[in-house]
Structure 1
């Protein structure tokens, strides 16, 4: 299935995305999902998170502000998702230097997410190969994550997505690079966290269309990058960019995707070079 077809699947199915996400990005995350055509739900308290994860199309666990009840809700939701077969995305925000969330991220990672999405420092920290970045900012290059990301994907049977100027996505066997987007995403609160929700939306819609998880994750990144490029062309800076980005997600067309470069190779070949 092509990226345009995957986007159309999201718009057609309007996947219900259960988001246990951080307090800083709740609003932009919900608005991004709505603009995309998905249906967000912020269900992050115990007693509700588990039952809702059973009926949702997909689940996002974002560790940006892991308050005690939210940590318990995440555990509850992940257990319910595993039991119900609900696909879920782990976004291990700012792990590495922050010990409590790092331990929680590794605990949840051991419970079998469908996808892990983070920046280079977060993925390296999850793999035990780095100390993390400065808060949510990365201190490492995406290229440095190739081997650790492939190892994580193979050992846990999931897709690992590393965001940066050139995104890297792998299931341990194939490696896909997505190049595009806008640097203004780094000047917008939630620019990375909302991507995790978009990945979840494509994952949920993809399962309804028998689209494999790697292709769903690649499509999510390509759409996000294309919308960011369209938004940058219609904005003058970080103040006007967020609403332009929402408009771009809502109005994105096939021609907007043509400027996004997607290249694929095997993990073995990629280890000897970079984007094919």
Structure 2
């Protein structure tokens, strides 16, 4: 995983893949800056009139329902279908799924309309989209997944045929066959709005250059992102300056730091 992470990061910096984000109003600026620091090229286009054309130019598509509007759902579904047609990965961030009927229904409709490569969120968001028996297993949104929750995520990945990428104290990434656990990351990340959504964008950038191995690329993205936070906390332990240090680390972290600090394992 160390060598893969280094290789994918190098590809991002060399190719600067265009990442099309149909994302929420709160995080557009931070997601764009996170992608730029990483070496990717962000674009945020929401209008139904252009989403298909923009998606056709991109290396990956991010769909984020954080500030959901009903007309955006149509744009997301159309963009997702175009992404499938041109063969680029769709990363879906189901912000707040399970909290309201609108959000849960929107995510299910998007997943019916297009094939999602990676579903990325916290445990409560992801498992709320499963069958009734899955929703009752091992979910604590403030902590993450129990062993039963991991098994439920594996089952969901098999059923929905996409990567489940679940953030928590220890992240879990699975495609239903492989399971990766990532221990990089800092609690202070939860005190800066947009850092979670930024991870979806970074995951898209890694998947854009991965050649189709989305489970491993997602695990690499999670580990690298968390490592940058681990390094940033050494410079600042307060939210505002931490985020600046985090951006700097996304920009500057290289092979030596990755080799020494990556905490990811396949289980």
Q: Which residue of 2 aligns with 1:130?
A: 135
Q: Is the 8 Å Cα contact of residues 73 and 110 (structure 2) preserved in structure 1? A: no
Residues in 2 aligned to 1:15 and 1:113: alpha-carbon distance in whole angstroms: 19
Deviation at 1:141, TM superposition (A): 2.3
1:172 matched to 2:173? The reply is no
Task: Spell out, residue by residue over 1:111-149, the C-alpha distance to the aligned partner (whole angstroms, 9 max, x if none).
Answer: 210111110111110114438xxxxx9345223531221
1:55 matched to 2:60? The reply is no
- 1:251-266 paired onto structure 2 within 5 Å: 251-257=252-258, 258-265=260-267
Q: Is the 8 Å Cα contact of residues 203 and 218 (structure 2) preserved in structure 1? A: yes
Q: Give structure 1 stretches of 5+ with no counterpart.
A: 132-136, 266-276
SS of 1:59 mapped into structure 2: strand
SS of 1:51 mapped into structure 2: helix
Residues in 2 aligned to 1:98 and 1:138: alpha-carbon distance in whole angstroms: 16
| Shift >6 Å, 4+ stretches | none
Q: Is the 8 Å Cα contact of residues 164 and 173 (structure 2) preserved in structure 1? A: yes
SS of 2:239 mapped into structure 1: coil
Q: In structure 2, which of residues 160, 163, 166 is the aligned counterpart of residue 162 of structure 1?
A: 166
Q: Is the 8 Å Cα contact of residues 58 and 204 (structure 1) preserved in structure 2? A: yes
Q: Which residue of 1 aligns with 2:124?
A: 121
Give TM-score scaled by structure 2 length. 0.92
Residues in 1 aligned to 2:226 and 2:115: alpha-carbon distance in whole angstroms: 27
1:16 matched to 2:18? The reply is yes
Aligned residues: 257
Q: Which residue of 2 aligns with 1:134?
A: none
Q: Which residue of 2 aligns with 1:271?
A: none
Deviation at 1:259, TM superposition (A): 2.1
- 1:78-117 paired onto structure 2 within 5 Å: 78-110=80-112, 111-117=114-120
Residues in 2 aligned to 1:33 and 1:249: alpha-carbon distance in whole angstroms: 9
The 10-residue stretch of structure 1 (12-21 or 154-163) with the greater mean CA deviation from structure 2: 154-163
Q: Give structure 2 stretches of 5+ with no counterpart.
A: none
Deviation at 1:109, TM superposition (A): 2.0
Residues in 2 aligned to 1:83 and 1:254: alpha-carbon distance in whole angstroms: 35
Deviation at 1:221, TM superposition (A): 0.6
Task: Spell out, residue by residue over 1:23-43, the C-alpha distance to the aligned partner (whole angstroms, 9 max, x if none).
Answer: 011110000000000000001
Residues in 2 aligned to 1:145 and 1:228: alpha-carbon distance in whole angstroms: 26
The 3 A distance-change label for structure 1 pair 142 and 255 is farther
SS of 1:233 mapped into structure 2: coil
- 1:194-233 paired onto structure 2 within 5 Å: 194-207=198-211, 212-233=213-234
Deviation at 1:235, TM superposition (A): 1.0
